[in-house]
Amino acid sequence: DSGVTQTPKHLITATGQRVTLRCSPRSGDLSVYWYQQSLDQGLQFLIQYYNGEERAKGNILERFSAQQFPDLHSELNLSSLELGDSALYFCASSARRGGETQYFGPGTRLLVL
Amino acid sequence: QKEVEQDPGPLSVPEGAIVSLNCTYSNSAFQYFMWYRQYSRKGPELLMYTYSSGNKEDGRFTAQVDKSSKYISLFIRDSQPSDSATYLCAMSENSNYQLIWGAGTKLIIKP
């Protein structure tokens, strides 16, 4: 158990809808990262937050947004969902700003029908 | 050219064999090197972490970094079917920079 929690575990929704994924980092970790992994694909970095502030952006679509709250949990919002958004979404956390070990949560499996 | 190259496999070997997994990279400033293991549809978990060059051993796993060749390796001795997973390498310049990920190598250990 990495100490990173993600909810929900599974999500089934329809095209055009909006969903929110939630992540709680390990105790004491200040950075949260979001990744997308489509079937048999590598990890695609989406975005990083450090202590409440956006620190780095990857290949995140404009339809997606995230935030990190004062208690350091984070939410990833996915809107106007398309079939191609079906994927595993992982959250990871690390102690500081980046570059060091990241600890991953179990992921949220999103299926868009 | 990607910053980090990793053969996606699959790599299939018999149980008990020594496995060698590799990544090459282009950024000579990378100093932190990690290997993660990911079982199907699960979150990646850290296996090995090394700083700069040299070897690091942990049980059946050995991580090797050759900065002069910009090449890192993960060796698995006495491979077991439970080692079947995707292995991802990741690296960064320092604690202020992002981790750069390889695409992952799928490993299959045949009983």
Look at residue A20 and tell me whether its pLDDT is greater than 70.
yes
Do B96 and A2 lie within an 8 Å CB cutoff?
A: no
Whether the per-residue pLDDT at A59 is higher than 90: the answer is no
Reduced to 3 states (helix: H, G, I; strand: E, B; else coil), residue A85 is helix
The DSSP code sequence of chain B is --SEE-----EEEETT--EEEEEEES-TT--EEEEEEE-TTS--EEEEEEESSEEEEETTEEEEEETTTTEEEEEESS--GGG-EEEEEEEESSTTS--EE---EEEEEE-
- State residue B46's pLDDT score: 93
Average pLDDT over chain A, rounded to whole? Answer: 94
Is A105 in Cβ contact with B98 (below 8 Å)?
A: no
pLDDT bin (cut points 50, 70, 90) of residue B98 is confident
Q: What is the pLDDT of residue B31?
A: 92
Q: Using the beta-carbon criterion (under 8 Å), do A43 and B94 form an inter-chain contact?
A: no
pLDDT at residue A82 greater than cutoff 90: yes
Inform me whether the pLDDT recorded for A40 exceeds 80: no
pLDDT in tens, B53-92: 889 999 999 999 999 999 999 999 999 999 999 999 999 9
Q: Is B49 on the interface with A (CB under 8 A)?
A: yes
Q: A42 or A88, which is more confident?
A: A88
pLDDT digits (tens, 9 = 90+) for A90-110: 999 998 777 788 999 999 999
Interchain CB contact of B101 with A (< 8 Å): yes
User: pLDDT digits over B1-33, tens only?
Assistant: 789 999 989 999 999 999 999 999 999 999 999
What pLDDT score does B53 carry? Answer: 83
Is the pLDDT at B95 greater than 70? The verdict is: no
Q: Tell me whether A48 touches chain B (CB under 8 Å).
A: yes
* CA dihedral over A21, B34, A28, B41, signed as positive or negative: positive
**Using 50, 70 and 90 to split pLDDT, how confident is the model at B94?**
confident
Which of A99, A103, A104 minimises the CB distance to B92?
Answer: A99
CB contact under 8 A, A2 and B43: yes
pLDDT at A39: 81
Compare all CA atoms of chain B with the CA of A96 and give the residue at the minimum distance: B95
Query: Is the model more confident about B96 or about A62?
Result: A62
